Amino acid sequence: MTKLKIIQTKSKIGSTERQKRTLRALGFRKLNSPVEIEATPQVLGMINKVKHLISVVEI
Residue 45: give its domain's CATH number: 3.30.1390.20
Give residue-wise pLDDT tens across range 12-45: 999 999 999 999 999 999 999 999 999 999 999 9
pLDDT of 38: 95
Q: Which domain holds residue 54?
A: 3-58
Helix spans in the chain (H): 17-26, 41-49
What is the C-alpha to C-alpha distance for residues 24 and 46, in angstroms, rounded to an integer?
11
The count of structural domains within the chain is: 1
Residue 1 pLDDT exceeds 80 = no
Q: What is the mean pLDDT of residues 45-53?
A: 97
Q: Cα-Cα-Cα-Cα dihedral of 30, 9, 4, 50, to 10°?
A: 100
